[in-house]
A and B are shown apart, each in its own frame.
Chain A
Amino acid sequence: MSNQKPGLKPTKPVVWNDPKYRAIFFQAVLALGLIYFITTIIGNTLTNMEARGISTGFAFLSEKAGFGIMQTLVDFSAQSSYGRTFIVGLLNTLLVAVLGIFLATILGFTMGVARLSTNWLVAKMATVYIETFRNIPLLLQIFFWYFSVLRTLPSPRESLSLGFGAELNVRGLYLPSPVPETGFWLSVLALLLGLAVMFFMRRWAKRRQEETGKRFPDGWASLGLIVGLPLITFLLSGQPLDFDYPELRGFNFKGGITMAPELLALVLALTIYTGAFIAETVRAGILAVDHGQTEASMALGLKRGQAMRLVIIPQALRVIIPPLTSQYLNLTKNSSLATAIGYPDLVNVFMGTTLNQTGQAVEIIAMTMAVYLTASLSISYLMNWYNKKVALVEH
């Protein structure tokens, strides 16, 4: 017979103290509040728009726009539709973003490494660059390059020659454009072939090294395949590539590729501003790799360059890449400042001119925001995936 008393049963809280019911209650309140808020706003907006005679819906996208755009990557004329202005703006935004990302990455990596240089003067100069341009508003930098530098350049008649047929003047930067002639496809084919062979050769070289320990000079071989092979083909097939040089005709340059001063100022400012941030990211990434790693690779007998390439950089990249992509995103979002100097990006063309002409603020702002949101969310989704993939498995 046991005289152990039955354990006390936990008391059940009263309904309004039970966390489960509380959670349901609070969430219901939030849901109701949100529904009320959203319906009020939609109701207000609809009445306000009706009162001002603004039509709703996306029918305006197929209407004739009736204005011209200074720089377009696809065909566009005043006869084109408002929907087309969206495409033109989007492509121009992408153009700035791609150019900016490419150049800012180069500048940022160079400056980030330079700041860690053992050369005192180089390190100090990189520091001055980073600390100066990081702390000045981007819009101010855009204005400076546009109004103070590019708009004060000489007229086309006194254009500055930069060599290789490139010309810089107040109307923009003129570059020679390559014109492929018959037979050029052979060189392209050689390049593709070289890339394919390089891929298989690297796999073979790696397997052989793992099995026998013998090294294959794959760096030189790759260089030969992707540079040498196309170059030889190009020379053998009689150099089938011509350049269209910009030439002064009348008051302006004709031919070649033209970069308008607006585009140039925007790309310059975005590159220099974002480059400073990327440099800091790179520096932090390299510093995050423990010094023991360098010492260990020295102890294994790796040369300095090999230690960098095989040990330090792969580990630094793990730290660098997530903040680097958020810098790329920032650059893309910041490219919307184009509107301040009149470069026809998405915000300027679509949210500016098209909105002013049609008055359909809600649809247009929603579409513009959707573009930036899609870009941000998809990139941050990719980043999370990447982070999970490269994350160190710690015990």
Chain B
Amino acid sequence: MTDKHVQRPDLPPPVSEVGAVGWLRKNLFSSYVNGLMTLLALWLLWQFLPPLLDWALFSANWSGETRADCVGEGACWVFIANRMDQFLYGFYPAQLYWRPNLAGLVFIALMIPLFIKSFAWKNWLGAAILIVYPFIAYLLIHGGWFGLSEVETSKWGGLMLTLVLSAVGIVASLPIGIVLALGRRSKMTMFKSVCIIYIEFWRGIPLITVLFMASVMLPLFFPEGSDFDKLLRALIGITLFQSAYMAEVVRGGLQAIPKGQYEAAASLGLNYPKTMAFIILPQALRLVIPGIVNTFIALFKDTTLVLIIGLFDLLAIIQLALTDAEWLGFDTEGYVFAAAIFWVFCFAMSRYSIALEAKLHTGHKK
């Protein structure tokens, strides 16, 4: 009668298991060793973080015009601000900055629809960006037509040149890479061996030797009198080099296409070019977009090497600015700025590639 079961309210969980304390116990102090490592890590952070933040932010000099404005212990960002135009455009004439800017805006405007889900013409737009856009950009930046004054490539520089080098490197190496990848999987021994030799050769040597070769040996290869732009030579070297890596990326995609697709195409009576163009490559290339983005990241970082053959990309122009007698001693600021720009680009692209990979692999994964 009196033994009636009464539901009592639940006791709260122990303090040591939930909330901030529980989190700390679980993630930072789960054992003696872990606790020790946490303390060590905290000590390291305490040693490095406050001085770093102090240098980069709190004690830094942000405004001013000349070197004299940089007083105190912190970083001198005045130097960067002062040189910003040069870091972005190189020796491009200042009154013509609108041309590369416009080229960049056109690119961004073209890219936006690619991220809109309901946009139906993605493939066509993508093809246009790859094939038509480079010419528009070249005509805009180089000029020399339609009343636009010509700006020789020797005046191109800074971040603009870095972007030009890596974008051209990727766009030009993609078709060559596709041909090489198809050739490497060909049943014809001659094609196969030529492609393997080409790919393994370029993948086996450092980019620096390729650039050296492009700048020293390329003029020897062509009939006398044919003169090459320095930028064009670098671009040829980068494209030859990059196409070998691109071929391996595309090959990975080709290998992922099941045999049934080839057999289905054959049973429909499609010949080799049609099988490749309509059945295999559209699927394979979709699969390798993340891989292409990854090679783009690698190339984007590697373009810094053109400094060695005397082109002024972002790093080279910063290196040049550091030797300016008026602004000596700001090496660290220059490098940190360059590192920040490269990092933002590369990190954003790698996140994009990871997201894309996850998206492309839904339900597709073996």
Contacts and interface: CB of A to CB of B under 8 A. Distances in A.
B342 A351 contact: no
A147 interface: yes
Interface in A131-155: 131-132, 134-141, 143-144, 147-148, 152
A16 interface: no
Interface residues of B, number: 55
A152 B328 CA distance: 13
Interface stretch (B65-73, B119-127, B136-144, B206-214): B206-214
B304 A137 contact: yes
Interface in A98-120: 117-120
A136 B34 CA distance: 31
Contact of A27 (B37, B38, B191, B297): B191
A136 B343 contact: yes
B347 interface: yes
A48 B194 CA distance: 27
Interface stretch (B84-92, B152-160, B218-226): B218-226
B209 A361 contact: no
Contact of A135 (B213, B222, B342): B342
A365 B216 CA distance: 9
A336 to B, nearest CB: 4
Interface in B33-75: 34, 37-38, 41-42, 44-45
Interface string A334-370: 1011011000000100010001000001100100110
Given A131-B347, A135-B342, A376-B204, A121 B42 contact: yes
- Report, as a range, how many residues of chain A touch the other chain: 35 or more
Contacts, number: 147
Given A121-B38, A147-B331, A49 B220 contact: yes
B16 interface: no
Interface stretch (B95-103, B108-116, B255-263, B332-340): B332-340
A140 B350 contact: no
Nearest to A337: B208
A34 B216 contact: no
Contacts of B189: 27
A386 interface: no
A252 interface: no
B301 interface: yes
Contact of A137 (B201, B206, B342): B342
A390 interface: no
20 contacts: A30-B190, A44-B222, A44-B224, A45-B217, A45-B220, A48-B220, A119-B38, A121-B28, A121-B41, A134-B346, A135-B342, A135-B343, A140-B315, A140-B335, A148-B331, A152-B331, A334-B206, A347-B208, A362-B217, A365-B213
Contacts of B305: 139, 337
Pairs of residues from A and B, 6 with the lowest C-beta to C-beta distance, nearest first: A376-B204, A120-B27, A135-B346, A27-B190, A333-B206, A137-B301
Contacts of A361: 216-217, 220
A298 interface: no
B209 A368 contact: yes
A122 interface: yes
B205 interface: yes
Interface of B: 27-28, 30, 34, 37-38, 41-42, 44-45, 187-191, 194, 200-201, 203-209, 212-213, 216-217, 219-224, 297, 301-302, 304-305, 307-308, 315, 319, 322, 331-332, 335, 338-339, 342-343, 346-347, 350
A140 B206 contact: no
A31 interface: yes
B28 to A, nearest CB: 6
A30 B194 contact: yes
A148 B38 CA distance: 31
Contacts of A30: 190-191, 194
A48 B187 CA distance: 39
A44 B205 contact: no
Nearest to B191: A30
A70 interface: no
A216 interface: no
A197 interface: no
Contacts of A391: none
Contacts of B191: 26-27, 30
B104 to A, nearest CB: 21
A41 interface: yes
A27 B191 CA distance: 7
A328 B219 CA distance: 33
A345 to B, nearest CB: 10
Nearest to B303: A137
A336 B222 CA distance: 27
A343 to B, nearest CB: 13
Contact of B28 (A44, A120, A337): A120
Interface string A239-264: 00000000000000000000000000
A86 to B, nearest CB: 14
A23 interface: yes
B220 A119 contact: no
